[in-house]
Structure 1
Amino acid sequence: MDYYSHLDFGKALKKLRKERNLSQEKLADLSGLDRSYISILERNLKLPSLYTILALATGLGIKASEFIMEMEKIQYLIE
Structure 2
Amino acid sequence: MNITKDAALHGDVWLVLASAPRVYGLHPERRDQYIREQIGLHPGRYWQLLTELLGDPVAAAIVPVTVQTLRDHATS
Q: Specify if TM > 0.5.
A: no
TM-score w.r.t. the length of structure 2 is 0.38
Bigger-Rg structure (1/2):
2
